[in-house]
Amino acid sequence: MANITAEDEANTVKTEILHYISSAPGGVSIFLAALNIVLAIVATLGNFLLLIALRKVISIYPPTKLFFRSLAVTDLFAGLIVQPMYSITLIPGISHKNLMYYSIQVTGISGSILCTVSILTSTAISVDRLLALLLGLRYKQVVTLKRTRAVVGCIWLLSCSMGGWRYSNWGAEVSKFTLFVLMLLSLIISICSYTKIYLYLQNQQAQLHAKKHREIHQEPTSNGGEGRLNIERYKKLVSSIAWVQLALLLCFIPFTVGSMLFTHRKLTGVATGIAHFCVSIPYVLFNPALNPILYCWKIREVKQAMKETVRKLNCYFKSSWSFFPSSITNTTRA
């Protein structure tokens, strides 16, 4: 009996979502669909270039780089799968309800999986950065590429399982509760990690200032300069992932809060539903296009690698385009 109730409730929610989206004004739907297509193109190209650039960056430790690649892959899949399928639901004039229904299903399942992967991976990076700070020279012995691959694999496996359970008749409630617990734990772990990192760096900076004050008449050693350089690079990595997590949180807050209110019937009405599902979801889908910009902004090596990649691709397409008209001309003369 409980399974039937859960199934009926799930079908009711899906029917309401379909009704809200299909009831949106035509002009609003066209604008949101066009905006979403643009964001999908930006997210796909940006994260594709980011994956290529990460291969060229050697200053980032390989296990940490693997976490960044996992994040880029989730954003790439969002641009290739989630956003195009969501655009279908926004196109006015689609009378085939099954097409819209399955588009919503694919968007919901894939979006849930990718969102969970992004949150868990960004949390894993925050823990990785804390371990790099606390373990020191032992960090490379503890955090290996093999162990990192196992962690990334577990994150994807868990996320895919929860994404499937969420839209099943028997595991919807279990999946929602598990997802809520995971998100809460991830937020707590990230906050604790960044707080610990901040306090540790502040303490270290105070010690460096005190040491400089005591040795003001002595020449600085090369090891000290190298240490400061590593600390600066470390700060940039921590800052970049902190910005990524903050952007993820800000982009998901409107949709998450609105969905919870609709689920518990605190918000009702067609107009309210249209405003929620047609306005808050683009904020969620804006996140994959934003992340490559954040990486380029905060990590100089990634920015340089992406510039070099774009330059090489530009030269390649220019040479291909110059060859194409000449071949046509030679064929015409012949």
- For tokens 């577990």, name the residue: 154
Residue pair 210/95 in contact (Cβ under 8 Å)? The answer is no
Quick one: residue 96, left, alpha or beta (phi over 0 = left, psi -120 to 50 = alpha)? beta
Query: Among 22, 141, 120, which Cα is nearest to 74's?
Result: 120
CA distances 276 to 84, 169, 282, 290, Å, are 19, 25, 10, 21
CATH 3.40.50.1000 assigned to domain 13-210+227-312? The reply is no
Tokens of 319: 């040479």
Task: Give the pLDDT means over successive 10-residue stretches in the chain (334 positions).
Answer: 44 52 64 85 93 88 93 93 83 64 79 88 92 88 94 93 69 70 88 89 78 61 48 79 83 72 59 63 81 85 86 79 56 51
Q: What is the pLDDT of residue 77?
A: 94
What is d(CA 53, CA 311) in angstroms, rounded to the nearest whole number? 12
Q: What is the pLDDT of residue 214?
A: 67
Query: Among 109, 120, 49, which Cα is nearest to 81's?
Result: 109
Q: 97-135 vs 172-214: helix axis angle to the nearest 10?
A: 30
pTM: 0.78
Residue pair 245/122 in contact (Cβ under 8 Å)? The answer is yes
Residue pair 35/282 in contact (Cβ under 8 Å)? The answer is yes
What is d(CA 14, CA 20) in angstroms, rounded to the nearest whole number? 10
What is d(CA 123, CA 26) in angstroms, rounded to the nearest whole number? 40
What is d(CA 149, CA 146) in angstroms, rounded to the nearest whole number? 5
Please give the torsion angle defined by the CA atoms of residues 81, 83, 85 and 91, in that order, rounded to the nearest 10 degrees.
Answer: -160
Query: What element of type H or E holds 314?
Result: helix 300-333
Look at the chain and count its residues: 334
Q: What is the pLDDT of residue 66?
A: 94
User: Could you state, in order of their start, the residue ranges of all structural domains in the chain?
Assistant: 13-210+227-312
Residue pair 119/186 in contact (Cβ under 8 Å)? The answer is yes
DSSP string of 223-254, one letter each residue: HHHHHHHHHHHHHHHHHHHHHHHHHHHHHHHH
- Residues 6 or more apart in contact with residue 246 via CB below 8 angstroms: none
Residue 113: how many other CB atoms lie within 10 Å: 23
Q: What is the pLDDT of residue 45?
A: 93
Q: What is the pLDDT of residue 1?
A: 41
